[in-house]
Amino acid sequence: MNDQVARVIYRERLTPSLWMLVTIALVGPMVSLVFVPLNTSVALVLGGAVSLVLVVMSIVLSPVVSVTGSVLRAGRAHIDAQWLGEPEQFTGQDARDKRTRDIARDGWHLFRGGIDGVVVVPVTDPADPMNSWTVTTRTPDRLSAAIRSARRISAAE
């Protein structure tokens, strides 16, 4: 395999926002309250352990968006860039509209709450039932540039 094809152009883990992590961590004190009548020390340890496990799991299990060589990956899905059109990037109200009222009903979506930016990429493969990919990202300009780069790599192959 060519070194240029396997090169990671873009990678982002769509981790929960700080406020979401705090909310997740609040489950620990609730667990502690349940076990306080049995043993205070055990309750504190269990509460801390539950908070830690939930926060770590929410980060580790977060989907990854990446462009490696000529392949776009969003979570478990992937598509070769040869089948992608020109990406469009959105932020603010435009991004909210793309996730809600203007959502591509015949498209594939990877949304993560608390992340504002959205990139919409048309799919040009006539055999693919999805007409577009809509992906949330913290850096829509960088993801769009990476997709364009992957398209150039795919065209050169």
Q: Is 13 helix (H, G, I), strand (E, B) or coil?
A: strand
Alpha carbons 135 and 25: distance in angstroms, whole number: 27
Tens of pLDDT, residue by residue over 98-146, are 999 999 999 999 999 889 999 999 999 999 999 999 999 999 999 999 9
Residue 87 — pLDDT band, cuts 50, 70, 90? very high
Q: Which of 98, 84, 114 is nearest to 23 (CA)?
A: 114
Residue 157 — pLDDT band, cuts 50, 70, 90? confident
Who has greater pLDDT, 22 or 6? 22
CA angle at 32 for the pair 26 and 37, rounded to the nearest 5°: 155
pLDDT at 96: 95
pLDDT at 127: 93
pLDDT at 1: 45
pTM: 0.85
| Helix, strand, coil in percent for the chain, rounding step 5 | 45, 25, 30
Q: Is 68 helix (H, G, I), strand (E, B) or coil?
A: strand
For 15-139, where are the alpha helices, taking DSSP H only? Answer: 18-25, 27-35, 40-60, 92-99
